[in-house]
Amino acid sequence: MNETLRTIKTRRAVRNYKSEQISDFELQEILNAALHAPNAMNKQNWHFTVLQNKDILDKLADRIIENVINLNNKALTNMVSAPGYHPFYKAPTVILISGDAANEFIQIEAGTAAQNIALAAESLSVGSCIMTMPNFAFDYEKAEALKRDLGIPKGYNHICSVVLGYKAGPTPTAPLRNAEVINYIR
């Protein structure tokens, strides 16, 4: 099996990280992979906000938890209220992916960038988890101020995030895949 297919098949969502920051070299390689993701007509109207400041990550995590609790959704409230819960799994690096709200394909483009980030991370032995929980940080009346504070361009919305860090435990085992979801018409 070639290295690309091996990376695709071994990459797993990691939710347990060491506190040690990933190297600048690894971060730049991962971001470069994001920039090489497919995007319609090469417009590249996405934006990547790299957060590595623990205080800012913790404040953002508190805002996510507060906004989730305010939704009065029992299942989500139970999840974020669990002892030790942290929306970013205490990963030392978080990449927020945002995109131009006027781009009808930005959800797909952000998704391909997130997948490139996760695959590049795996190839460098860096754990990752693609997540949407950070959307709750932008789900309130002060979202524009938060986006401005984080350097997210005007007219752009948060799409998803990827947390990164060195794995603090074994890589989870891959569950069996359901091949019955494939339909052939020949």
pLDDT tens-digit readout, 127-136:
999 999 999 9
**pLDDT band at 172, cuts 50/70/90?**
confident
How many other β-carbons are positioned within 10 Å of the β-carbon of residue 174?
A: 10
Which pLDDT does position 95 carry in this prediction? 98
Check pLDDT > 80 for residue 32. yes
Check pLDDT > 90 for residue 22. yes
Q: Where does residue 57 rank: exposed (0-12), middle (13-18), buried (19+ CB within 10 A)? A: buried
Angle formed at CA 32 by CA 26 and CA 38, multiple of 5 degrees: 140
pLDDT tens-digit readout, 140-168:
778 899 999 999 999 999 999 999 999 99
Which pLDDT does position 139 carry in this prediction? 78
Which pLDDT does position 140 carry in this prediction? 76
What average pLDDT does the chain have? 94
Place of tokens 């209220």: 81
Tell me the domains of the chain and their CATH numbers. 3-168 (3.40.109.10)
Spatial contact of 87 and 161, defined as CB atoms under 8 Å apart: no
pLDDT tens-digit readout, 42-81:
899 999 999 999 999 999 999 999 999 998 899 999 999 9
